[in-house]
Chains A and B, each alone.
Chain A
Amino acid sequence: AQSVTQPDIHITVSEGASLELRCNYSYGATPYLFWYVQSPGQGLQLLLKYFSGDTLVQGIKGFEAEFKRSQSSFNLRKPSVHWSDAAEYFCAVAEPQAGTALIFGKGTTLSVSS
């Protein structure tokens, strides 16, 4: 069965420091891959996506993610974290076609210290 694992439940990073959130997936082929962010009491906002092609994808708010097929990973990175990045981050996968549902990881809560 398809699944997504986010090994880190909670991460604290100092403002200005770099960030990497881990995501591993289990899927028979290469799925579509997504990262979403959820601020408290809000809905989910798409940060970036990978369908095919260049394995390093750029997203909004200065985030990027790298797809590594050999490791079944899609880790999210940001070179310098801002206090406003504190939120919950979800990695998700979907079948590689339009109109299919997302399977989410359990999420990683990011706290930013000053």
Chain B
Amino acid sequence: DAGVIQSPRHEVTEMGQEVTLRCKPISGHNSLFWYRQTMMRGLELLIYFNNNVPIDDSGMPEDRFSAKMPNASFSTLKIQPSEPRDSAVYFCASSSGSEQYFGPGTRLTVT
């Protein structure tokens, strides 16, 4: 199995630009999670889906953030417009039970 796939691995963009992060979960997993990791706040949940339906988006910082899961094999996290404080590593994880498997992350730098 290829594991959770995230793209891009690195993204550098200018303030005000739109950023889209992508995630392909492990085949057969029905839960997908987006986490953000920063030095100040550590690892925190942004949003998660069960069976493609958003269950908890209380961690999404602002309306500038949106996430979709159009099918069981793909999810996106979009930031528009991006700001320097959005710089972080964004992880996607998937699960079919209680164990979550993490992707390698996308390191986002907003200048």
Residues of A that sit less than 8 Å from B by CB: 32, 34, 36, 42-46, 49, 51, 90, 94, 97-107
Given contacts A43-B91, A49-B98, A99-B50, 11 further A-B contacts (CB under 8 A): A43-B4, A43-B105, A45-B102, A46-B101, A51-B98, A94-B98, A98-B97, A99-B31, A100-B98, A104-B43, A106-B42
Given A94-B98, A107-B42: A101 in contact with B48 (beta carbons within 8 A): yes
Interface range on chain B (Cβ under 8 Å from partner): 20 to 34
Encoded as 1 (CB less than 8 Å from any A CB) or 0, chain B from 31 to 68 comes to 10101000000111100101000011000000000000
Cβ-defined contact, A101 with B102, below 8 A: no
**29 residue pairs A–B, Cβ–Cβ below 8 Å:** A32-B98, A42-B105, A43-B4, A43-B91, A43-B102, A43-B103, A43-B105, A44-B93, A45-B102, A49-B98, A49-B99, A90-B43, A94-B98, A97-B98, A98-B95, A98-B96, A99-B30, A99-B31, A99-B50, A99-B55, A101-B45, A101-B56, A102-B33, A102-B43, A102-B45, A102-B100, A103-B45, A104-B44, A105-B42
